[in-house]
A and B are shown apart, each in its own frame.
Chain A
Amino acid sequence: MTIDWRNYESEGLFDELVLPSGRARTGAGKLVQALAKLSDDELVERKTAADLAIRSMGITFSVYHEGTNIDREWPFDIVPRLIMKREWDEIARGLKQRVRALNAFINDVYHHRRSLRDGVVPEDYVLRSREYRSRCAGIDPPYGVWSNVCGTDLVRDGDGSLYVLEDNLRVPSGVSYMLENRAVMKRIFPELFEHYAIHPVDDYPSELAACLRSLSPRAVRSPRIVVLTPGIYNSAYFEHAYLALEMAAELVEGSDLVVGDDDCVYMRTIGGLERVDVIYRRIDDLFLDPRAFNKDSMLGVPGLIRAWQAGNVALANAPGCGVADDKVIYTYVPDMIRYFLGEEPILANVPSYRCAEKDHRDYVLDNLQDLVVKPANESGGYGMLIGPQSTQRQRDQFVRVIRANPRNYIGQPTLALSTAPTIAGKTVEPRHLDLRPFILSGKDIYVTTGGLTRVALRKGSIVVNSSQGGGSKDTWVVEPATRERLQ
């Protein structure tokens, strides 16, 4: 049997495509109809075609513990997620505003600390953050921008309102999947593209290259840009290679680079040493330079930080930018926007409780079963407590860790994340999702059109990370469907 949207149970949640009545949301009509026209076999056929395309295009991600078989195919759902252009424009404006404020804040932290003195963010939180790097103080990255590539996670709650869940300011990944998802969709559902004016996404590599070029310390016509990867065993290696290829940049490992006596960075080639101007680094701060940070790092380049401090090479993102990528600092972002930009925030934060503050902490400890508790500095969904799905033992453990280190935790209400129809066997069922747009800041500021929609493929799950059973969808930012209206 084919899809009958009247039987689609989104269980009182906000669904991105389908209204509780089973009718399509504004703009989603053509898509919902097209899906309902497919027979079971056709649906499975398209799904199979997508899997095949992904395999032959070699879209993979790696999982650390798998030993020899390190490449896994990227789990992809063929039902796209729709966002109307008008809503998107507002979101994009909000994202730019947010990233401008965050970069202003980071620059302030490493210079005059005005915002700390004025009590916008408690100084103690900042200076004791695990991501604060004292040796970055006084450095002037181009345009005062520290986080050149930011991936901000957005979620929608049950009532349809949108929240910023977190700002990934350090080395956010996933953008290559956003690009590949679109390529796969074009291959398997070309007819859908006839019905919609879908905004393209594939200008991202050129925008990224332009952003990186704008950081070059040398005024040369084509500065040498490299993508610095930890190597093939990194879970995002596919993306590193993909972006390097798309930007016609060199994909390098730490051992390919050397810092000369002139404090410039060079790469070793068969033609000898070649000067490097901009490093898009996909390695964490602490592994960048064994002389400056982690002495045991085999991934880094000895002397790299010295070369950066001397202004001879640009590092994107700048070391130390993670100081604002901390779940406790996150709670102050709306205040930063008011303080640095004199504007009201366009995008809202998820209401958050800081465990370092006594009344907040008491509330969190008393309501663990209803809250999500997050550590300040983890990513990938690790080290979290999801209250409603937790056991008493896990909650007891969190009581202990919160009391031992309250600064390191925040609590948030469990959001009823929005859903979208997702293939499950021969039909579609609602699955929870989020959205990660990418924001590029250099000389100019740019936001991807849409972003990467991540979806929790397991029924009821709200964990969308690929390392933990998540998949992804193509994200369509669409104009009001004129053709739909004409009919």
Chain B
Amino acid sequence: MSVNVLSRVAERVYWLGRYLERAESTARLVTVNANLIMDLPVRLPLGWRPLIDITGSGDLFESLYGKGHATERNVCRFLATDTRNPGSIINSIIGVRDNARTVRENMPRITFEYINELYLFARSALVPGQSRSRRGDALTRISRLAQQLEGFLSQNMLHDAHWELMRLGNFIERADMTTRIIDVRTVDLIAGGHELLPFQDIQWRSVLRSFYAMQSYHASVREPVDPPLVLEFLFKDERLPRSYLRCLNSVRRSLRELPRNGAAVDACDAALSALKETDVKHLGGLEHSADLHAFINACQIRLGKLHGAIAETYFT
């Protein structure tokens, strides 16, 4: 008897992978931003708004909280606990739980206990308007629980088609998040113009920290933090697990394990060759910020097409 995965189940494990990654990276993003802000002078135009842009939810945020109300309190609430925001941490975790519920026959039984622990912790520990330090602790713990869950699955789940589909979700979400983080920080730098220039170094360091990649950068690049080198590192270093190249290669590897992968592999290859043909180092200068932004846009459109090809082939 063949062991093909039902299309509906395929879609659920894929989204389980995406939501898990999204919950983890959003928690990380808020933590890193809080640290960054403490390092910047109060008069600077920077603040919490970039996080809204990174998550691509500007319109929704403004409709809920009004224009110009991107305060720390509002943004944190919107990203962490607001159930009206489909991309909030709590909704991502609910997404993990609901998708896992329907595919629990395909996972070790105890997985559900890990997921419940994550959900119950997030629900009790994330409270709107809580102090910075409590929020920081809660987010760090959520990020850890999410990574623990991912690690558990990696070590214990059968590495069959279900697993590959979940990995597709993981890596597409991760690639997407990587480009968004780079994008918004560079756009900041353009918007902030010369006033922000002295703090450019801090900004790029915060980008690296968003990927837990400060030490990795030094170990790999062996140069001071420099925008062209950081970009090259984040986009093209195959050894960095969250680099855009590594994510795409991982997607490709998982796709190779699945049937009928033609269209999706083609979409993945298109994204890979576009990356290869682009001199990202060259886009590092402040004067090339607009080009960098355009390139990232193109990356996201390719990721969208890749998702589309996967959905078309496997979920319908």
CB within 8 Å for A255 and B4 given contacts A232-B102, A268-B316: no
| Residues A270 and B2 in contact, CB atoms below 8 Å apart | no
| Residues A253 and B8 in contact, CB atoms below 8 Å apart | yes
| Residues B102 and A244 in contact, CB atoms below 8 Å apart | no
| Residues A250 and B6 in contact, CB atoms below 8 Å apart | yes
Stretch at the interface among B65-73, B104-112, B292-300: B104-112
| Residues A252 and B4 in contact, CB atoms below 8 Å apart | no
Residues of B35-72 whose CB lies within 8 A of A: none
| Residues B105 and A251 in contact, CB atoms below 8 Å apart | yes
| Residues B105 and A269 in contact, CB atoms below 8 Å apart | no
| Residues B1 and A270 in contact, CB atoms below 8 Å apart | no
B161 in the interface, Cβ–Cβ < 8 Å?
A: yes
| Chain B residues within 8 Å of A231, by CB | 102
CB within 8 Å for A268 and B8 given contacts A58-B109, A58-B112, A222-B1: yes
List, sorted by A's number, 6 A–B pairs whose CB atoms are closer than 8 Å: A241-B105, A253-B8, A269-B7, A270-B4, A271-B259, A272-B259
CB within 8 Å for A270 and B105 given contacts A252-B6, A256-B7: no
B263 in the interface, Cβ–Cβ < 8 Å?
A: no
| Chain A residues within 8 Å of B7, by CB | 256, 268-270
| Residues B313 and A270 in contact, CB atoms below 8 Å apart | yes
CB within 8 Å for A270 and B10 given contacts A232-B101, A241-B105: yes
A residues touching B (Cβ–Cβ < 8 Å)?
56-58, 222, 224, 231-232, 241, 244-245, 248, 250-253, 255-256, 267-272, 274
CB distance from A36 to the nearest CB of B (A): 36
| Residues B260 and A270 in contact, CB atoms below 8 Å apart | yes
B5 in the interface, Cβ–Cβ < 8 Å?
A: yes
B258 in the interface, Cβ–Cβ < 8 Å?
A: yes
A241 to B314, CA, bound (A): 22
Top 7 A-B residue pairs of the complex, sorted by shortest distance between their CB atoms: A269-B4, A271-B4, A268-B7, A271-B259, A270-B314, A270-B5, A270-B10
| Residues B101 and A256 in contact, CB atoms below 8 Å apart | no
| Residues B258 and A274 in contact, CB atoms below 8 Å apart | no
Interface string of B273-316 (1 = CB under 8 A from A): 00000000000000000000000000000000000000001101
* Inter-chain pairs besides A58-B109, A241-B104, A270-B260, 17 sampled, C-beta below 8 Å: A231-B102, A232-B102, A241-B105, A244-B105, A245-B105, A252-B6, A253-B8, A255-B8, A256-B7, A267-B6, A268-B316, A270-B5, A270-B7, A270-B165, A270-B314, A271-B4, A272-B259
CB within 8 Å for A271 and B8 given contacts A58-B109, A241-B105: no
A57 to B108, CA, bound (A): 11
| Residues B112 and A269 in contact, CB atoms below 8 Å apart | no
CB within 8 Å for A269 and B316 given contacts A58-B112, A232-B101, A232-B102: no
Q: Which residue of A lies closest to B161 (CB)?
A: A270
A269 to B316, CA, bound (A): 8
Q: Which residue of A lies closest to B258 (CB)?
A: A270
CB within 8 Å for A256 and B260 given contacts A224-B1, A232-B102, A268-B316: no
A274 to B313, CA, bound (A): 15
CB distance from B7 to the nearest CB of A (A): 4
A178 to B1, CA, bound (A): 29
| Residues B6 and A268 in contact, CB atoms below 8 Å apart | yes
A255 to B104, CA, bound (A): 19
| Chain B residues within 8 Å of A252, by CB | 6
| Residues B6 and A269 in contact, CB atoms below 8 Å apart | yes
Of B1, B5, B104, B316, chain A has the most CB atoms within 10 Å of the CB of B1
| Chain A residues within 8 Å of B165, by CB | 270
CB within 8 Å for A274 and B4 given contacts A58-B112, A268-B316: yes
| Residues B2 and A271 in contact, CB atoms below 8 Å apart | yes
A245 to B109, CA, bound (A): 12
| Chain B residues within 8 Å of A245, by CB | 105
| Residues B2 and A274 in contact, CB atoms below 8 Å apart | yes
Of A58, A232, A248, A268, chain B has the most CB atoms within 10 Å of the CB of A268
CB distance from B22 to the nearest CB of A (A): 20
CB distance from A279 to the nearest CB of B (A): 14
A256 to B102, CA, bound (A): 13
A270 to B165, CA, bound (A): 10
CB distance from A251 to the nearest CB of B (A): 6
A251 to B6, CA, bound (A): 9
| Chain A residues within 8 Å of B105, by CB | 241, 244-245, 251
Residues of B68-115 whose CB lies within 8 A of A: 101-102, 104-105, 109, 112-113
| Chain B residues within 8 Å of A58, by CB | 104, 109, 112
CB distance from B11 to the nearest CB of A (A): 10
CB within 8 Å for A256 and B5 given contacts A241-B105, A270-B259: no
| Chain A residues within 8 Å of B4, by CB | 269-272, 274
CB distance from A374 to the nearest CB of B (A): 35
A222 to B161, CA, bound (A): 22
CB distance from A95 to the nearest CB of B (A): 31
| Residues B101 and A269 in contact, CB atoms below 8 Å apart | no
A272 to B316, CA, bound (A): 9
| Residues A256 and B6 in contact, CB atoms below 8 Å apart | yes
A391 to B301, CA, bound (A): 68
| Residues A256 and B314 in contact, CB atoms below 8 Å apart | no
| Chain B residues within 8 Å of A222, by CB | 1
| Chain B residues within 8 Å of A267, by CB | 6
Interface string of B257-271 (1 = CB under 8 A from A): 011100000000000
| Chain B residues within 8 Å of A224, by CB | 1
| Chain B residues within 8 Å of A255, by CB | 8
| Chain A residues within 8 Å of B112, by CB | 58
| Chain B residues within 8 Å of A271, by CB | 2, 4, 259-260
CB distance from A74 to the nearest CB of B (A): 15
CB within 8 Å for A256 and B258 given contacts A58-B109, A244-B105, A245-B105: no
CB distance from B86 to the nearest CB of A (A): 17
CB distance from B10 to the nearest CB of A (A): 5
CB distance from A117 to the nearest CB of B (A): 46
| Chain B residues within 8 Å of A270, by CB | 4-7, 10, 161, 165, 258-260, 313-314
| Chain A residues within 8 Å of B10, by CB | 269-270
CB distance from B102 to the nearest CB of A (A): 6
A154 to B230, CA, bound (A): 74
| Residues A272 and B260 in contact, CB atoms below 8 Å apart | yes
Q: Which residue of A lies closest to B102 (CB)?
A: A232
A212 to B3, CA, bound (A): 19
Interface string of B105-148 (1 = CB under 8 A from A): 10001001100000000000000000000000000000000000
A232 to B161, CA, bound (A): 22
A271 to B5, CA, bound (A): 8
| Chain B residues within 8 Å of A244, by CB | 105
| Chain B residues within 8 Å of A56, by CB | 109, 113
A245 to B259, CA, bound (A): 23
CB distance from B100 to the nearest CB of A (A): 11
A252 to B5, CA, bound (A): 11
